[in-house]
A and B are shown apart, each in its own frame.
Chain A
Amino acid sequence: MLQGINLTCVRGDRRLFKEVNFILEAGGLMQVHGPNGSGKTSLLRMLCGLSHPAMGEITWCGTSIRVLGGEYFANLTYIGHLSGTKDDLTVLENLRISSALAGVRISERQASDALTHMGLNGREFLPAKVLSQGQRRRVALARLLVCKTKLWILDEPLAALDVMAVQLIQELLEQHLAEKGLVVMTTHQEIDVTAVSKVHLRLV
């Protein structure tokens, strides 16, 4: 499904990594490991198509993602370092607008169900600026529940989350993988997810 061929990333004069190869099949989980500054986020942004590799190619179902464009984006949910929540909008508006951006229209009911699942019930109508870091993260992750995409690319999804939420994300990942979804993620925390195939990619 998702394949990286000879990926090289250059930032300014520095080469972050070179000749990274991987294949991820349906139901597979890829964890990207590496110390700070080794290019994990750069690799993930590359996989999203936000930046282009200096060399090499990324393919989705055998076709380059540059060719697929919007068709690839329709299969993809990316949650990066920045949560993408607007401070001046309420939690509910944030979720509805971010899923509309991803091409999924959801009703208020669906949005509040997803937020309840993420442990944010009773906070739907609060402006996002009063939320804590962990709660913002939960709002961003709630998008995974409503946008039923095949490929999830998660950059440090567990950062700032409490034990309960980590457990919740773990279950969410397992369910997604069982439904033949693909997950690419970075994390510094230990997480134990059962998957059909697991790929560990180490950047140095």
Chain B
Amino acid sequence: MFFWIIQRDLLLAVRRRSDVLTTLFFFVIVVSLFPLSVGPEMNLLRIMAPGVVWVAALLASMLSLGRLFSSDYLDGTLEQMLLSPQSLSILVLGKALAHWLVTGVPLVLMAPVLGIQYDLPADALFVLVLSLLLGTPVLSLIGAIGAALTLGLRGGGVLVSLLVLPLYIPVLIFGAGAVEANMAGISYDAHLSLLGAFLLVSLVFAPWAIASSLRVSME
């Protein structure tokens, strides 16, 4: 069941490539604007890099949250999901995972290329990828809670950012912090361990929270 839903969402993403590309291009453009506006000051860019990449990843991941449940809601598929004899938590975990595969993974893959614009050393790029790899699934899981809560509301897009962005802050701090620690020459293990812990906690609790929010929103 879990794999069915992932397969379905990936198939839908393939049929609607523009949605995926919008998120990726948003990320690329936002990250590239900074070096252009600040100018070629290597030291400044290197300091800014982790923060800028992470903030852009946050915004890009949020950009696609609106579509996570709304299309299923509008065509009635979500009703059928709620009436499925399978556990709704497993279903939404599948949907959140598919969301990450479609929006998170491309960001992770693109990040090292964009990092070069900021003159990041190779090991810092490696840590950046690692931190994004651990952090972006958390963004999808937390974001899905917000998307489920604001489902069917007018102006849901604004509301979802107000709800979700504050919850993204810990991920942002430790994600960007890992890269900064690496560049400062200190160990980044603690940052990554914390990101891993966020991931595990949200893997356990987010599906349950998403499922409950969906039931409330659909009533």
A positions within 8 Å CB-CB of B? 48-52, 70-71, 73-74, 76, 78, 80-89, 93, 97-98, 100-103
Given known contacts A51-B219, A81-B76, A84-B75, A89 and B83 CB-to-CB distance under 8 angstroms: no
Instruction: Kindly state whether residue B193 has any CB partner on chain A within 8 Å.
Output: no
Flag B196-219 by CB within 8 Å of A: 1 or 0 each: 000000000000000000000011
Given known contacts A84-B80, A88-B16, A102-B80, A71 and B85 CB-to-CB distance under 8 angstroms: yes
The interface stretch among B4-12, B125-133, B158-166 is B4-12
Instruction: Kindly state whether residue B123 has any CB partner on chain A within 8 Å.
Output: no
Bound Cα distance from A141 to B75, whole angstroms? 15
A-B contact count (CB 8 A): 72
Most chain B beta-carbon neighbours within 10 Å: one of A76, A84, A89: A84
* Contact present for B76 and A70 (CB under 8 Å): no
CB distance from A85 to the nearest CB of B (A): 7
CB distance from B69 to the nearest CB of A (A): 13
Complex contacts, B82 vs chain A, CB 8 Å: 50
Flag B1-25 by CB within 8 Å of A: 1 or 0 each: 1001100100110011000000000
* Contact present for A86 and B84 (CB under 8 Å): no
Complex contacts, B75 vs chain A, CB 8 Å: 82-87
* Contact present for A103 and B86 (CB under 8 Å): yes
Chain A residue at smallest Cβ distance from B16: A88
Bound Cα distance from A52 to B81, whole angstroms? 17
